[in-house]
Structure 1
Amino acid sequence: MLKILDREINRGDKFITDYQVTDGQGGETLLPYYVIAGEQDGPVLCITSGVHGTEYPGIGANLKLYNDIQTKDLAGTIIGVPQCNFASFQAKQPFVNPIDGKNLNDTFPGSADGTMTERLCHILVHEFAAKAQYHIDMHSGDSIEWLHPYAFYHINEQDPAVTEIARAMAKVYGLNYVSYTETAGAGATDKGNFYAAVSELGIPSIQPEIGGIGLIECKTKLLHYNGARNVLIHLGMLPGVKTENSSQQELSRFYRLKSDFDGIYHCFVRPGDRIEKGRHLATITDYHGQEIYKEFYAEEDCVVLWVMSTFATCKGDNLMAIGVI
């Protein structure tokens, strides 16, 4: 019998509700979640969104999935958490939870008796994702990030089968680019990320990225929605035919450029641009735009997956993400 937060789930159940989470300092927040228990047997898929509260397309898609999918059409169960970081969503606060100032996607798997963010991460992993056989964590560019659609999967060094299932899910999502991350290696780290923590439990998990800069558009919401439905069809949970993307490309690696300075960020490329080795990508200058602190050039032929959309930058900021072709 499937239980979510001590609530027994029966075939044919469909509900959406709010769970109240408290921390040791008297802080409170809500954790909205839903369950769609199909009338036919099948696997359990967990679909999360809103780990960053101003990443809107995934939140909109997740809510649309709940409202559109009927139990009579579903084989198995969907567990959904539309707004994983409700305080961030409510306050329109990018990146971090305003209650404790921490970034959920740096904090997984969390702690049962930690700060609010640590407790949320623990609940999301153990009360939701760990109850499933598969997991999708929908993301977008945050309110100061602009991106081109792509999907990640995590390299599970201990269980290559988990990696391969997640890779197949990422491809089925149907976005233009697919790449991987790992806890340690030459590429971008995924330490603290939701999908990586779930993958390390032996549950195939992906992080699709669509949209950004604080926009909720029909096009980006539907990309997430259709990608999730593709996965549901792929897993045999919904009837139908998967949509295909003949332009999809798997990238050889993925990495991020970071700022070492406070100053102005002059960006010369756009998300989706395919770049030849040696092209000028960006410059960091002082606040007067006169002294050049650092210039960035493409080290290999690549595609720009996302860029920070602000003019100002601070030391330690991510500036852009590069996928090597």
Structure 2
Amino acid sequence: MTIMTKNHMVVAQNASGRSMNVPVYRFKGEKPGPVVYIQSSIHGAEVQGNVVIYQLIQALKDQQIAGEIILVPNCNPIGTNIKAGEYTLGRFDPVNGTNWNRGYFYDEEKVLAFAETVQDSDDIATIRNDFRHYWAECIAEKLASPWGLGLAQQLNLKLQQLAVNADFVLDLHNGPVSTRHIYIPEYARDAAYQFNFPHCIFIPNKFAGALDEATFCPWWTLQDALTARFGRPFAFGVEGFTLEMGSQEVIQFSEGKVDALSILTYLTQKDVLPASTLEPAGMDRIGVALKDYKTLFTQWGGMVEYCVKPGQKVTRGDTMARVLNIDELDTEAGCFTLEAPCDLIPMLHFPSASVLSGTQLFKVFTNYTYLTTA
């Protein structure tokens, strides 16, 4: 029997002193198994993940579960409510300017200090349990800093406390105008074949503040440290991902069902859903190293027509955008084209037609390879 519970967690207070809460849904199975943590909308405009969690909840009500699944939709209610006209400006803390997804905890020195306490006779289960307890204390210590923390980091650490015991962490995001893609740690490459995501970015053990990195970097670092110390491999099976599921400021229930199915397929492969028979889809899966996931910046400002769509294969020299130069409408320089610098696949592009110089116009796959074909 699977039991669902719901409670609310205070994540912040507004200027009137009122608490801002987020719902926390938990599905607990009778059988032991992995812990899964899934959250959405850490960036306020990235709302599609909430529909994915809704679809997951509908499906999980009828599923046998081994272990526990924790779901936190709309985990950043502050960001969701930062509006300017029809736009949601929920990517940065408006007080401190901090990216809402860059304040999670990681300290390599603390990981290495823990590694020195491990005994050669300790089994994997003991090391996992001890490290989780230790890491939870480190997060709590950071959150209790006597100097205080910025709002974004307070929020991140409270969410990280919910995720600290998870074996699998999924952070649901959206791009500005985007196609589906997923960030996968290099040591968990097999996950590319367990989700139904067409575009996979493999990332190294480098922490930049995001939740997926805050999940896998400590375990990856610990694995490497213990392998070097004892001369044998260690694998703890903890995986963290960022799932990019289309464009921000958009809700699509049918697409949410597609992504929920992809997540359920992954969880089936991880023995979280023992009665499920879901298998990964036969499809084109394209992989790229993070170093080959490039940003195309503008050297100019102007008004832009986007001529290629996210997910479209583009050949070097193809027109990616047409640009209107308002000061030169009466000359040949009034309109010019932006050409692809190499063969590439755009994942996302800037949402507005009005573009300043130095804008991140496109983010693209280069030097990509096919992992599977339909």
Q: Normalised by the shorter chain, which TM-score bucket?
A: 0.7 to 0.9
Quote how far apart the aligned CAs of 1:97 are: 3.9
Q: Distance in 2 between matches of 1:102 and 1:52?
A: 11
- The answer to whether the 8 Å contact 1:23/1:116 transfers is no
Q: Distance in 1 between matches of 2:335 and 2:102?
A: 28
Deviations 1:102-126 (A, max 9, x none): 321233339623111111111222x
- The answer to whether the 8 Å contact 2:202/2:287 transfers is no
Give ranges in structure 2 of 5+ residues lacking alignment. 83-87, 107-141, 220-237, 369-374
Kindly indicate whether residue 299 of structure 2 is the aligned counterpart of residue 257 of structure 1. no
Letter in 2 for 1:250: G
- Structure number with greater Rg is 2
Map of 1:206 onto structure 2: 241
Give ranges in structure 1 of 5+ residues lacking alignment. 1-10, 155-162, 185-189
Write the mapping of 1:1-325 to structure 2, written as runs, cut at 5 A. 13-22=3-12, 28-70=19-61, 73-91=64-82, 92-98=88-94, 100-109=96-105, 112=143, 113-125=148-160, 127-141=161-175, 145-154=176-185, 163-165=186-188, 167-182=189-204, 191-202=208-219, 203-238=238-273, 239-252=276-289, 253-260=292-299, 262-282=301-321, 286-288=325-327, 290=329, 296-324=338-366, 325=368
Normalised to the residue count of structure 1, the TM-score between the two structures is: 0.80
Q: CA distance change for structure 1 residues 22 and 273 in 2, over 3 Å: closer, same or farther? A: closer
Structure 2 residue matching 1:48: 3-state secondary structure: strand
Q: Distance in 2 between matches of 1:115 and 1:24?
A: 13
Normalised to the residue count of structure 2, the TM-score between the two structures is: 0.70
Q: Distance in 1 between matches of 2:205 and 2:342?
A: 23
- The answer to whether the 8 Å contact 2:40/2:49 transfers is yes
Q: Percent identity over the alignment?
A: 19
Deviations 1:136-163 (A, max 9, x none): 111122xxx2112121113xxxxxxxx3
- The answer to whether the 8 Å contact 2:66/2:271 transfers is yes
- The answer to whether the 8 Å contact 1:53/1:85 transfers is yes
Letter in 1 for 2:202: Y
**Matched residue count:** 297
Letter in 1 for 2:150: T
Q: Distance in 1 between matches of 2:283 and 2:164?
A: 33
Letter in 2 for 1:314: L
- The answer to whether the 8 Å contact 1:170/1:208 transfers is no
Map of 1:4 onto structure 2: none
Letter in 2 for 1:105: N
RMSD after superposition: 3.0
Q: Distance in 1 between matches of 2:5 and 2:244?
A: 27
Q: Distance in 1 between matches of 2:44 and 2:340?
A: 32
Quote how far apart the aligned CAs of 1:18 are: 1.9
Q: Distance in 2 between matches of 1:90 and 1:179?
A: 31
Quote how far apart the aligned CAs of 1:264 are: 3.0
Quote how far apart the aligned CAs of 1:70 are: 3.2
Quote how far apart the aligned CAs of 1:135 are: 0.9
- The answer to whether the 8 Å contact 1:62/1:225 transfers is yes
- The answer to whether the 8 Å contact 2:20/2:77 transfers is yes
